[in-house]
Every structure is written in structure tokens, then in C-alpha cells.
Amino acid sequence: MTDYSTLFRLDGRRALVIGAGGIGREAALALAAHGASVICADKDPAQAKDAAEAIGAAGGQASAVELDVTDGDAVERVAAEHTDLDVLVLTAAMNVRKRILDYTPEEFDRVVGLNLKAGFTTIRAFGANMVAQGRGSIIAFSSIRGTVVEPGQSVYAATKAGLVQLLRTAAVEFGESGVRVNAVAPGVVETPLTSQIKADPAWYRAYAEKGALGRWAKPSEMAGAVVYLASDAASFVTGSVLAVDGGWTAVDGRFTPPA
């Protein structure tokens, strides 16, 4: 008989969270709170250390590692050092908000290099370990922009849609080995990536009013989705995109017709 009281527990499992600031920091804290031993990785070693120390202060187990996922050799090295992971969480991403006609090839390469190419490199390196051990859960952050777009979001949206298809393919290829692969698709979240919008009150308000809940999300509100997908509660969930968008993609405009 299934013990539902432990359905979300992660005791004895090891997780690597890449992008340990913002959403990644909260995901790492939540995984540790449910019993996982967490490795906090970030291009900025101070961010990784801060997340690991916050977990330790809360009574959890954590360590920190510096990792730039655009460096393929570094990704392979960290994967070789941590071959027994149960959970991989990838949150690292960037955006350059420009219309297509204003985009430069260099900007295109930077956004694709982090959001899509590094995603491929990371999934490939750590996925190989999980396939070999016959278990694991890979969770990567896409976005509502992988489904719906707006002016100035072309390359970012393309990478997030591409990441979803990459994850779905990995889910199919890794599934027989017991490895699950899923995406989380946030809506508007208050992180450094959205600081440009927050600085414009009208833009900030328009985004808040677009969703069904009428507000932005806090980074901590993404953590539950990560814990769920990492845990046995999602043991039959793979190849999925879990929208955590406050109803953004459910709403067709904000006009309320008369009943």
C-alpha cells in the first residue's frame, strides 16, 4: 500500500540545481526542506555559496560549485564528479529584448548559446549518468514564451520552445531507463531577468493584469512545481510542461463581457 504521507519526500536523494540565484535558490531550498542533499551551482560562485549556506542554516545538507553551463568542458567535468544524482534542475537563462530587425547575430548567439545549446549540453551530460544508473528526474525551466509571444521576444521565445521539444525528446529517449524529463513554464516572476519590466510601472501593471490572478509571482512560488516533479508524486509524469503562470495562458485578454 502506498504511503501517501511521504509522497513528496526526497530523503536520501541528491539534487543539482543550476542557476542558484532567484528561482533556482528557492528550488534548492525547497528540495533540501524535503530531505534532498543539494548541490548549488552557478556561474557566480557567491550565488552558489549563498544558496548552500541558506540551506545549511535551515538544517539541510548542501554544497556549492561554480559552473558556467556555456562551457561544455566544465559541464562534462561536473557531471563526471557527480555521477549519482537523482535530480537535475536547470534554471539558467537570459533574454535580450529587441525586435527581430534590431537583433544582432552576436546577441542571437548569446541567447541561443545559454538558453538552448547549454540546455542540450547539460541534459546530455547529466542524462547519460541517470540513464546508466536507471533513475532520475530532469527538470528544466521553459517559459510562457515557449507558447505565446509578444514583440521583442523572438529569440528568447524560440529558445524556450526549442527547450521544450528537447526535453520531450529526452523524455522519450531516457524513459525506458527510468529517467523522467519535464519542463516548468513560469509566467511573470519577480527576478533580475524581469527588472526592465518592473522599472516601468505601466508595463509592470499590464503584466500583472494579464493573468487570472492579477499579480506577478514570487520566485518561491515556482519551488512547489520543482519538488513535485522531483518526487514520487510525479512518478508517472514525463515529457510534460507544467505551467506555473497564474493563468496567463488561460486568459484571452482581460475584457469581461456582459453576462
Query: Could you say which of 103, 156, 204, 207 is catalytic?
Result: 156
Characterise 203 by phi-psi region: left (phi > 0), alpha (psi -120 to 50), beta (else): alpha
- Print the domain residue range for 185: 9-247
Taking a C-beta distance cutoff of 8 angstroms, is the pair 207, 251 a contact?
Answer: no
Residue 2, domain member (yes or no):
no
Nearest to 182 by CA among 79, 88, 95: 88
What residues have CB less than 8 Å from 39, skipping those under 6 apart? 14, 15, 16, 17, 62, 63, 64, 65, 82
* Cα distances (Å, whole numbers) of residue 224 to 24, 57, 80: 12, 20, 29
**22: helix, coil or strand?**
coil
Q: Regarding beta strands 87-90 and 14-18, do their DSSP bridges make them parallel or antiparallel, or are they unpaired? A: parallel
pLDDT of amino acid 198? 86
Cα angle 232, 237, 240 (rounded to 5 degrees) comes to 140
pLDDT of amino acid 68? 98
Read off the C-alpha cell for 216: 506577478
Residue 41, domain member (yes or no):
yes
> How many domains are there within the chain?
1
Read off the C-alpha cell for 130: 541517470
pLDDT of amino acid 1? 86
pLDDT of amino acid 259? 64
Burial of 253 (0-12, 13-18, 19+ CB in 10 A): exposed
Cα angle 4, 6, 12 (rounded to 5 degrees) comes to 150
Residue 256, domain member (yes or no):
no
Residue 257, domain member (yes or no):
no
Q: What is the pLDDT along the chain (259 residues), one digit of tens a residue?
A: 889 999 999 999 999 999 999 999 999 999 999 999 999 999 999 999 999 999 999 999 999 999 999 999 999 999 999 999 999 999 999 999 999 999 999 999 999 999 999 999 999 999 999 999 999 999 999 999 999 999 999 999 999 999 999 999 999 999 999 999 999 999 999 987 788 888 899 999 999 999 999 999 999 999 999 999 999 999 999 999 999 999 999 998 766 777 6
- CATH code, 58: 3.40.50.720
Give the span between the Cα atoms of 32 and 194, in whole angstroms: 26
Residue 226, domain member (yes or no):
yes
Residue 207, domain member (yes or no):
yes
Taking a C-beta distance cutoff of 8 angstroms, is the pair 184, 226 a contact?
Answer: yes
Residue 255, domain member (yes or no):
no
Q: Is 204 among the residues known to form the active site? A: no
Give the span between the Cα atoms of 130 and 192, in whole angstroms: 32
Nearest to 37 by CA among 24, 57, 56: 56
Read off the C-alpha cell for 33: 526542506
pLDDT of amino acid 151? 95
Residue 4, domain member (yes or no):
no
Give the span between the Cα atoms of 226 and 257, in whole angstroms: 36
